[in-house]
Structure 1
Amino acid sequence: MALKATTSFTTSLKEWREYRKFSQLDLALEADVSQKHVSYLETGRSNPTPEMIVRLAEALDIPLRERNLLLLSAGYRAGYQETDLTDPSMTFVNEALTRMLKHHDPFPALVVDRYWTIKKTNSAADALIALLPDVQALAPSADSMNLAFMTVHPQGLRQYITNWEQAFPLFIQRLKREAAATGDPKLMTAIAELLTLSGSAETLSFINEDLMPVIPLEMDINGLKLSLFTVIATFGTAQDITTDELRIESFYPANAETEAFFTNLSLKGI
């Protein structure tokens, strides 16, 4: 959903409500206000306070970046900051991320932002990436590696994923869910570009009675066979755009052989 700071509040609110498939009554009940007040806000008969805007944004589960646009559209200043991870005020956030990544060793873990750019990695993730110099070469620099791009590119992780046709539709669906939650048109454009780049059809295979709890990535890296699945974590009480958009991706072994490989890698100090 292409929401801009120049869009009026009445239009923005209605667009978000319809985007979330809420009726005016649904929004009123979720925000604990009257339906008439929601109607008046959408028609401009009532002017919202900043507090009411935040209340409605919470009811509609609008991310912080887009909440700022909603506040701006009503003539108020942005309410949420976007602080660089290197800022001193983010020290405790950085320490928490570092601790989580370190505690996940000997298995890979990394931190990505809204656009799937890798922000931090642990030693196991570094070791795994080091096994894939052709994948590393896809990034212009070490601080611009994009997990989604590196996964779907023909010279990226895709060439090592042996169950690509099974895993790819689920991967793209997950990215679409993340994009849909934000309403960010840049993300939807990025997904369209990934689909074009991959050259793969986004088609889920028929679900059968032998369906596994999760679909691991089955990889064959020059004879080294690995099986990994991911668990994703987010900050539960984010009040800064940066922390609101960070995702911690922790990879776990799906079989004993993969667990043994990363354990031995750690023992060797690699």
Structure 2
Amino acid sequence: MDIASDHASFGALLRDVRRTRRLSQLELSLQAEVSQRHLSFLESGKARPSREMVVQLSTTLDLSMRERNRLLHSAGFVGLYPQRTLDANDMAPVRAALDLLLHHQSPYPAIVVDRAWNLITQNTPMQRLLGVLGDPEARWQAVCGDGPRNILKLTLHPEGLRPYIVNLDVLAPAILARTAREALEHPEIQPVLDTVLAYPGLPRAYRQIDLAAVTPPVVPTHLRLLGQDLRLFTMLATFGTPLDVTTDELRVELFFPADDASRVLLEQLSAT
């Protein structure tokens, strides 16, 4: 790739990120302590950014590690943050922490996902919960085929959990709005969202996402499984001060019963 195209790629990416943050050139220049004229030249490709300038702009824009690397690469620099596989030797403390969380969450379900809601691992109560509805492997195959197992797809796919969700009209808009907001800052989420919005039978109103809509603090998931009601709410846990792309994007979703009947049902499932 030649220098001119490198610069144009960086400028276009910087402009897109700035607009996503709903910042004018003037606003970004003031926050980053860069002249508006220089920022304009960077976006148009008339000026070449230094590595320090890319880092400064990335920090000001509060980009994720993946997006910081992407901006550096577009400017012709090596990324700052490595992306190790979870089974790498130096990721052993990360794996141990995840295993501990999943184990101690029992008898309640817990999963580990990446930022795009692809399933990394799950605890035994989660496996048993999905098993109540039939063969989990067959359900995953129907929802995701041979691709990554994705929790958002599983939740809203017509052959996933959608038929079992009692409060779909409350839950789905909240989930989709949250995902759409995250996709503005993390482009890797957008293809998953696009796939889900194209599912057959998804009400048209769900596709008209209102990013400014006010949602309640917690939206429980109300499932009806084989005639029994299960109400769950969730918490997300992340790693503090990560210095690796994989660790930065890991999310642990912990499920808790929203009432006593749900608590008893989860305890019964765990004992089977």
TM-score (norm 1): 0.84
1:107–1:262 contact (8 Å) kept in structure 2: yes
**Match of residue 153, structure 2, among 149, 152, 162:** 149
Selected match of 1:229 from 211, 226, 233: 233
Distance 1:219-1:52 versus aligned 2 partners, 3 A rule: same
Task: Report the counterpart of residue 208 of structure 1 in structure 2.
Answer: none
Secondary structure class of the residue paired with 2:139: coil
Corresponding position of 1:200? 203
- Local SS of the residue matching 2:199: helix
For the 8 Å contact 1:227–1:258, the answer to whether it is kept is yes
State whether structure 2 residue 105 is matched by structure 1 residue 104. yes
Q: How many residues align?
A: 258
Distance in 2 between residues matched to 1:183 and 1:105, nearest whole Å: 34
**Residues 59-91 of structure 1, C-alpha deviation per residue, up to 9 Å, x if partnerless?**
112222222221122111222222110111111
Partners of 1:204 and 1:17 lie apart in 2 by 22
What's the counterpart of residue 14 of structure 1? 15
CA shift for structure 1 position 193: 1.9
Distance in 1 (alpha carbons) for counterparts of 2:191 and 2:223: 28
Residue 136 of structure 1 deviates from its aligned partner by 3.7
Q: CA deviation at 1:257?
A: 0.7
CA distance in 1, matches of 2:23, 2:97: 36
After superposition, the Cα gap between the structure-2 partners of 1:249 and 1:5, relative to the gap in structure 1 and judged at 3 Å, is farther
8 Å contact kept, 1:229–1:254: yes
Shift of 1:213: 4.2
Equivalent position amino acid for 2:199 in 1: L
Question: Distance between the aligned counterparts of 1:252 and 1:12, measured in 2?
Answer: 40
Distance apart, 1:28 and its partner CA: 2.6
Distance in 2 (CA, whole Å) between partners of 1:88 and 1:142 is: 28
- Contact 2:176–2:209 under 8 Å retained in 1: no
Distance in 2 (CA, whole Å) between partners of 1:212 and 1:9 is: 39
Give, in whole Å, the separation in 1 of the partners of 2:217 and 2:117: 25
1:247 and 2:247 are equivalent in the alignment: no
Unaligned runs of 5+ in 1: 206-210
- Unaligned stretches of 5+ in structure 2? none
C-alpha RMSD over aligned residues: 2.7
Query: Identity across aligned pairs (percent)?
Result: 38
Task: Describe how 1:130-149 pairs up with structure 2 within 5 A.
Answer: 130-134=131-135, 136-140=137-141, 144-149=148-153
Q: In structure 2, how many angstroms separate the alpha carbons of the residues matched to 1:5 and 1:262?
A: 54
Deviation at 1:25, TM superposition (A): 2.7
